[in-house]
C-alpha cells in the first residue's frame, strides 16, 4: 500500500540519486506527503531547488554522498559498476519500491527488444477485458506516480535492466522477451547485464508465472531447477496452432513482422494466465495502434515512404524491421559506440536487399568505412548529422520504396534519448525542400 511506502520512507535517511524525470517524481512524492523531511539529492549536473530541507550533492564527486545515507533511491541510468557501496546502505529504485508496496497484480516485462510492444499489448488486452490497469515503467512513466494515485488493479510494467539491477521483489507474472548484448558500458560485461535482467523472476513464488522465449537458452545464467514459478516457454514454432492470434495480427498493418508475432504470442500467454479469453485478446490486437518510434510510419514524401524505428538500438532489431517492411531501399543507422560487436551486422548489411546505407556518427560512419574496405558495392553515405542523412535519403531512395531510420545503437552521443532522435528525423522529413 502507498501509505506503507510513505511510512517506510519516513523512517529512513533518504538520498535521491539522479534528478531526471524519475528522480523529480520521487522528490515530489516525498514532499507531498513528508514536507518537512530532510533528504539528500545527488546529481552530476547542478540542481536549482528552493527547499531548505534538501541537502544537495552536485558535480563530479556526487557519488561520494552515498555513504552518508542508509537508503539510496537510484535513477536507472546511473551506473554503479565502479562504486563501492558501504555495508548497511540499501540501493533501491522506484521499480523495486513499487513491487514491494503495490497490492495490485504486477506484470513485469523485460528483454533487450520487444518489451515496449509486449507491455503495451498486455495493457491493451487488459483494458479490452474491462480491467482497471495502468501502463508504466521504462517508457517514461514513473511507477510511483501510479502507486500514489492507486487507480489500478493490474499494472503492466516495462522493466529495463537498469530498473531491475537492484530489485528485491518480483512481479506475479514475469516476461523475458529475449536477451542480446546491450548496455555493456553500464555493466561489467554481458553477464552483469543478464544478471540484472533475470532479477525479474529471482524473488517469485510458486504461485507466480515466468513467460520466456523458447529460442534462447538461459540455463547458462540461471538454474531453472530451483526456479519457483511456473515456467511457460513461447515461440513461433511452439505456438504454431494459435490461429486466432495470428489472424488478428495479420489484419493489423502495425503488427508486421515475425518479431511482432512473437511479442503478441507472449502477451497472449500472459493474458491466458489471467483467464482472459482469446476473443478479447484478438480484439485488442485488431485495434492496436502500434508504438511510436517502433517501425512508425512517418508518411509518404516526394514518392518515398519513410519509417521511424529510433527505438531499435541493437542490430537484431534493425534486421527485424528491414525484414518486416520488405521494401527498404535506404537505411539510416548509427549512434553511440557502446562496445557492441557489429561483425555480424556488417555481414548482414553486405548481403541484405537495402541499396543505400547512410551512416550517422559514430558507429554508422565506422561501419560504412569497414564496408568500403571490404569491397561493398552498395551506395555508402557518411552523414555527419541527421540533416545530411535525410537529405541523402531524399536524393538516393527509389520512388515508391522505403527509407528506414533504425540506428542499431543508442542515441546519447547526440540526442537526449531515442525519442528526441526520432522526432528530429520526422521533423526534417516533413520540412525537407
Neighbours of 308 (CB within 10 A): 25
Average the pLDDT over 329-347 and give the result: 95
Centre a 10 Å sphere on the Cβ of residue 84 and count the other Cβ atoms it contains: 8
Whole-structure pTM value: 0.88
Nearest to 197 by CA among 102, 114, 321, 86: 114
* Phi, psi values for residue 160, rounded to 5°: -85, 165
DSSP code of residue 326 = -
pLDDT at 421 over 90: yes
Structural domains in the chain, CATH included, are: 2-92 (3.40.50.720), 96-286 (3.40.1190.10), 296-430 (3.90.190.20)
Burial (CB < 10 A; 0-12, 13-18, 19+), residue 90, is middle
State the burial class of residue 414 (Cβ atoms within 10 Å of its Cβ: 0-12, 13-18, 19+): middle
pLDDT value of position 112: 87
Which letter, b or e, does each residue of 179-201 get, where b requires 16 or more Cβ atoms within 10 Å of its Cβ?
bebbbeebbeebebbbbbbbbbb
Using CA of residue 94, residue 199, residue 117, residue 210, what is the dihedral sign? negative
The Cβ-side half-sphere exposure at 318, using a 13 Å CA radius, reads: 27
Q: Quick one: what percent of the chain has pLDDT higher than 90? A: 79
Residue 180 has a pLDDT of 80
- Most confident region among 173-187, 247-261, 305-319 by mean pLDDT: 305-319
For residue 370, is the peptide bond before it cis, meaning its omega torsion is within 30 degrees of 0?
Answer: no
For 182-210, what is each residue's pLDDT tens digit?
Answer: 655 555 667 778 888 889 999 999 999 99
What average pLDDT does this structure show over 175-180? 90
State CA 353 to chain mean position distance. 28
Cell numbers at 23, concatenated: 528522480
Residue 24 to residues 144, 293, 319, Cα–Cα distance (Å): 11, 25, 37
pLDDT of amino acid 188: 64
Q: What is the mean pLDDT of the chain?
A: 93
Q: Positive or negative, the Cα torsion across 360, 362, 368, 372?
A: positive
Q: Distance from CA of residue 342 to its chain's centroid?
A: 20
Which burial class, exposed, middle or buried, applies to 286 when counting CB atoms under 10 A from its CB (0-12, 13-18, 19+)?
middle
pLDDT at 245: 85
- Residues ≥6 apart with Cβ < 8 Å to 292: 419, 422
Q: What is the CA radius of gyration of the chain?
A: 22
Residue corresponding to grid cell 546529481: 43
Strand partners, 154: 105, 133
Distance between CA atoms of residues 217 and 238, nearest Å: 15
Query: CB–CB of 402/322 below 8 Å?
Result: no
3-class DSSP assignment, residue 122: helix
Residue-wise pLDDT for 112-130, tens only, equals 889 999 999 999 999 999 9
Determine which helix (DSSP H) or strand (DSSP E) holds 373, and give its type and residue range: helix 363-373
What residue has cell string 539510496? 72
Backbone angles phi, psi at 406, to 5 degrees: -145, 100
Nearest CA-CA partner of 134 in 112, 117, 119:
119
Residue 262: pLDDT over 90: yes
Q: How far apart are the first and last CA of the chain?
A: 55
Q: Rounded to an integer, what distance in angstroms lies between the CA atom of residue 168 and that of residue 200? A: 9
The 3-state DSSP class for residue 160 equals coil
Residues in the chain: 433
C-alpha cell at 120: 503495451
In 268-350, beta strands by DSSP E: 296-301, 304-308, 328-333
The mean per-residue pLDDT over the stretch 153-163 comes to 94
Grade residue 84 by pLDDT with cuts at 50, 70 and 90.
Answer: confident
Q: Is the dihedral of CA 112, 113, 117, 118 positive or negative?
A: negative
404 membership: H or E segment, kind and range: strand 402-405
Q: Distance (Å, rounded) from C-alpha 157 to C-alpha 115? A: 9
Amino acid at each position: 500500500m502507498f501509505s506503507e511506502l510513505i511510512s517506510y520512507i519516513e523512517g529512513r535517511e533518504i538520498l535521491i540519486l539522479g534528478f531526471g524525470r524519475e528522480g523529480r517524481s520521487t522528490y515530489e512524492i516525498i514532499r507531498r506527503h513528508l514536507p518537512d523531511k530532510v533528504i539528500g539529492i545527488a546529481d552530476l549536473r547542478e540542481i536549482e531547488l528552493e527547499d531548505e530541507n534538501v541537502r544537495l550533492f552536485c558535480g563530479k564527486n556526487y557519488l561520494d554522498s552515498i555513504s552518508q545515507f542508509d537508503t539510496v533511491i537510484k535513477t536507472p541510468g546511473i551506473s554503479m559498476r565502479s562504486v563501492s557501496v558501504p555495508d548497511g546502505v540499501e540501493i533501491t529504485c522506484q521499480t523495486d519500491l513499487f513491487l514491494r508496496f503495490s497490492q495490485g497484480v504486477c506484470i513485469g516485462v523485460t528483454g533487450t527488444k520487444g518489451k515496449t510492444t509486449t507491455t503495451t499489448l498486455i495493457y491493451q488486452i487488459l483494458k479490452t477485458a474491462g480491467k482497471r490497469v495502468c501502463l508504466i515503467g521504462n517508457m517514461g512513466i514513473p511507477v510511483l506516480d501510479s502507486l500514489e494515485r492507486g487507480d489500478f488493479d493490474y499494472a503492466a510494467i516495462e522493466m529495463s535492466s537498469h530498473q531491475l539491477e537492484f530489485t528485491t521483489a518480483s512481479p506475479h507474472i514475469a516476461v523475458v522477451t529475449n536477451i542480446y548484448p546491450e548496455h555493456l558500458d553500464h555493466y561489467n560485461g554481458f553477464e552483469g547485464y543478464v544478471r540484472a535482467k533475470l532479477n525479474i523472476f529471482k524473488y517469485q513464488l510458486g504461485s507466480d508465472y515466468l513467460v520466456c522465449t523458447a529460442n534462447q537458452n538461459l540455463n547458462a545464467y540461471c538454474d531453472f531447477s530451483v526456479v519457483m514459478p511456473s515456467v511457460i516457454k513461447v515461440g513461433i514454432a511452439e505456438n504454431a496452432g494459435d490461429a486466432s492470434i495470428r489472424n488478428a495480427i495479420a489484419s493489423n498493418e502495425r503488427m508486421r513482422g515475425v518479431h511482432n508475432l512473437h511479442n503478441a504470442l507472449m502477451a497472449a500467454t500472459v493474458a491466458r494466465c489471467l483467464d482472459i479469453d482469446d476473443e478479447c485478446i484478438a480484439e485488442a490486437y485488431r485495434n492496436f495502434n502500434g508504438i511510436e518510434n517502433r517501425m512508425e510510419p512517418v508518411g509518404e514524401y516526394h514518392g518515398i515512404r519513410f519509417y521511424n524505428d529510433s527505438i531499435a538500438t541493437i542490430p537484431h532489431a534493425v534486421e527485424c524491421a528491414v525484414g518486416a517492411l520488405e521494401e527498404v531501399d535506404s537505411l539510416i543507422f548509427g549512434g553511440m559506440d557502446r562496445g557492441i560487436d557489429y561483425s555480424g551486422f556488417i555481414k548482414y548489411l553486405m548481403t541484405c536487399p537495402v541499396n543505400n546505407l547512410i551512416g550517422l556518427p559514430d558507429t554508422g560512419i565506422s561501419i560504412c568505412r569497414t564496408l568500403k574496405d571490404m569491397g561493398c558495392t552498395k551506395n555508402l553515405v557518411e552523414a555527419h548529422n541527421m540533416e545530411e542523412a535525410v537529405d541523402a535519403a531524399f536524393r538516393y531512395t527509389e520512388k515508391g520504396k522505403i527509407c528506414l531510420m533504425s540506428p542499431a545503437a543508442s542515441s546519447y552521443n547526440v540526442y537526449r534519448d531515442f525519442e528526441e532522435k526520432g522526432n528530429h528525423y520526422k521533423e526534417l522529413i516533413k520540412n525537407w525542400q
